[in-house]
Amino acid sequence: MTIGGIGFGRDGLAPYASDPSATRGRLHADPASPTRTDYQRDRDRIVHSTAFRRLAGKTQVFLVDEGDHFRTRLTHTIEVAQIARAIARALRLDEDLAEALALAHDLGHTPFGHAGERGLARAMAANGGFDHNAQSLRVVTRLERRYPRYDGLNLTWETLEGLVKHNGPLTDAAGRPVGRYAEKGIPFAIRDYAERHDLRLSTHAGAEAQAAAIADDIAYDAHDIDDGLRAGLLTLDALREVPLVAHILGTVAREYPAIEPARVPHELVRRLITAMIEDVIRESLARLAALDPRSAEDVRGAGAPVVGFSASMDGADRAIKAVLTRAVYRIPRVRSVMDRAERLVEKLHARYAAEPASLPAEWRPREAEDADRAARRIADFIAGMTDRYALAEYARLFDEAAELG
């Protein structure tokens, strides 16, 4: 594609990158854009979606009203997108596809983060369960209602594939669920969509999706350290048990012996992100050189991720997460809030199921729907809520304020 004599498309991309001019297309045919590639259009549709805006009101780790400077799902998503683009650029992948996947990866999250997901999963245990990754697919294929010809955002096959498989294959070649889905099976939302549009669940996703997935890990480590320090739950001394962090802090102390204490966490986070990105780039280039893929299909069929941490950085990532789990995620102050949030979400679902008239008219179960689809409709409504809206609904339905903090 050219605009004013300037070329767009595969220029500068590696042979294993996803090619926007060779996409497998959309479920519903759309006219081509004269100014944007298909992956750029996907990114733009995601940014302009209602679900994307709602991320600003959804918990990351700390509740949205606990402080103005803690991450929300939206600020986390923006950070993931920045890191994903940096990795994609270095590996000569399609940056727009990597960014689109990063921007969409948390669209299915409930209010109150993983606590809300646990509550909704319990509420839906008898009706197909609930999984935020599967819900992200449901958001972009069914729940967004913006276009006159179809529901959803009508994203390209590559974006949908990456959204579902960014953490790896969901089934083996025979169609048997693997990994996290081996016990409970493929989530309803994915099975429901796969009946209409085959996303090839037994293969790895393209390299752009893998870049977005590792970017999510990097962002989690860095901003949860930052937020944990800000909240007073973490100390720099506790973090020094991770050799990589101790090395960074030692380097900062040597280079800036008179640094203001308030600047140290920012320098730590900045250097940690850089170290992790650079490790991913080095490791991924080595894997790609060994595989020598000549197409995106070669990446999908590689049998293992081509984008990832080295063994040493993978160990550092696990060590950081262990410190965060012990010092932030599972301490009584955080757990008590999250436990109450879980119960709130579960109670909302039970009340809506018992009293469908309490739902907005467009979300009420239809007469012809079976119990599973009626429960799913309620789950869709709750999953789309912001923290604030969920609290307001609880107060309306139970005539009492929900005390979470």
**Averaged pLDDT for residues 166-187:** 93
CA 176 to chain centre: 24
Taking the C-alpha atoms of 142, 145, 149 and 151 in order, what is their torsion angle to the nearest 10 degrees? 0
The reported pLDDT for the residue numbered 288 is 97
Mean pLDDT across the chain: 92
> pLDDT tier at 8 (50, 70, 90 boundaries)?
very low
Residue 347's Cβ-count burial label (10 Å; 0-12, 13-18, 19+) is middle
Q: Is the pLDDT of residue 7 over 80?
A: no
Query: What is each CA distance from 248 to 71, 91, 243, 254, in whole angstroms?
Result: 23, 25, 9, 10
Contacts of 23 (CB under 8 A, 6+ apart): 38, 39, 156, 157, 158
The reported pLDDT for the residue numbered 69 is 59
Is the full-model pTM beyond 0.85? yes
pLDDT per position as a tens digit, 112-167: 988 999 999 999 999 999 999 999 999 999 999 999 999 999 999 999 999 999 89
Q: Locate the domains of the chain by residue range.
A: 26-405
pLDDT per position as a tens digit, 44-80: 999 999 999 999 998 766 544 455 557 789 999 999 9
The reported pLDDT for the residue numbered 64 is 45
Q: Is the pLDDT of residue 1 over 50?
A: no
CA–CA distance, 90 with 281 (Å, rounded to integer): 7
Q: Is the pLDDT of residue 18 over 60?
A: yes
Element (H, E) at 6: strand 6-7
pLDDT per position as a tens digit, 305-363: 999 999 999 999 999 999 999 998 888 878 888 899 999 999 999 999 999 999 999 99
Q: Which residue has the tokens 């969509």?
A: 193
Rg (Cα) of the chain, in Å, rounded? Answer: 22
Q: How many percent of the chain have pLDDT more than 70?
A: 95
The reported pLDDT for the residue numbered 82 is 98
> pLDDT tier at 10 (50, 70, 90 boundaries)?
low
**Averaged pLDDT for residues 75-87:** 97
What angle (nearest 5°) sits at the alpha carbon of residue 157, between those of residues 151 and 159? 90
Element (H, E) at 174: none
- CATH architecture label of 26-405: Orthogonal Bundle (1.10)
Residue 316's Cβ-count burial label (10 Å; 0-12, 13-18, 19+) is buried
The DSSP line for 57-75 is: GSBSSS-GGG-TTS-BHHH
Q: Which residue has the tokens 């990351």?
A: 60
The reported pLDDT for the residue numbered 402 is 79
Contacts of 143 (CB under 8 A, 6+ apart): 51, 151, 152, 380, 384
**Averaged pLDDT for residues 257-278:** 97
